[in-house]
Amino acid sequence: MAVLKFRIYWEEDDVIYRDVLVKHSQNFADLHQIILKAFEFDQKHDATFFRSNDIWQRGREISKEVYEKEYKAPPLLMEETIIGSEIIDTNQHFVYLYDFVKSWSFLIELIQVIKNADADMSLEYPLVSRIEGVGPMQYGTKGMLGEKFADIEEKYDLSEAKEGFGQEGEEDTNASDERGEASDDSEEDSDERDDDGEDQQESSGSEFYEGEAF
């Protein structure tokens, strides 16, 4: 028996990948499940593998089930196909397609064969052995906050913050009213000063204009 190490790349960005370990005696249904686990996808959708070559051409399918579509050759079934039986090259390639509507596509490459003597048989296979890069969000960015938003709301107490803004506005309103009253008082004082000024000008205005001829 041997343990096979596969590297699974997200097709749209090859710096994002996961390494998984499977026994050569396990089937493609096991590989299918560990890939979804590695990229944190659910298992609700259709899926299929393709035999492939070095330039990622798609060959015969190893499918979750027989779908209602046209096949060039009848597909093999994941649960009936042992992984080791499909390894014909030391760097064997497969293409994995998940969710035919969104067409999540992953490129699979065999990178190591670990012989029985060197394999850690105390581990439960299949398993994820390495994670590189932030994987794609299966359902977009909608779920990025999700349940965490409630934690954020509680941590910063957004409801109290809203009330606080209201109180601050009320204080500003009161302050504005006080400034308005003060302004009215100053206008009254100004009117009184203007009246006094007019009286003074009436008494001395003629002399002023006689002396200044501009």
Q: Is the confidence at residue 24, as pLDDT, over 60?
A: yes
Q: Mind listing the pLDDT tens digit for each residue in 162-192? A: 444 444 444 455 555 555 555 555 555 555 5
Query: Residue 10 has what pLDDT?
Result: 96
Query: Which residue range is the domain that position 193 belongs to?
Result: 153-211
Same domain, residue pair 13 and 61: yes
Same domain, residue pair 172 and 89: no
Same domain, residue pair 123 and 47: yes
Distance CA 187, CA 105 (A): 77
Percent of the chain with pLDDT over 70: 65
User: Are 105 and 94 spatial neighbours (Cβ–Cβ below 8 Å)?
Assistant: no
Q: What is the mean pLDDT of residues 116-125?
A: 89
The residue out of 84, 106, 135 marking a domain boundary is: 135
Would residue 179 count as lying in a domain?
Answer: yes
Would residue 66 count as lying in a domain?
Answer: yes
Same domain, residue pair 110 and 186: no
User: Are 39 and 46 spatial neighbours (Cβ–Cβ below 8 Å)?
Assistant: no
Nearest to 75 by CA among 59, 97, 57, 60: 60
Would residue 186 count as lying in a domain?
Answer: yes
Query: Residue 179 has what pLDDT?
Result: 54
Same domain, residue pair 12 and 112: yes
Mean pLDDT of all residues belonging to the chain: 79
Q: What are phi and psi of 103, to 5 degrees?
A: 55, 55
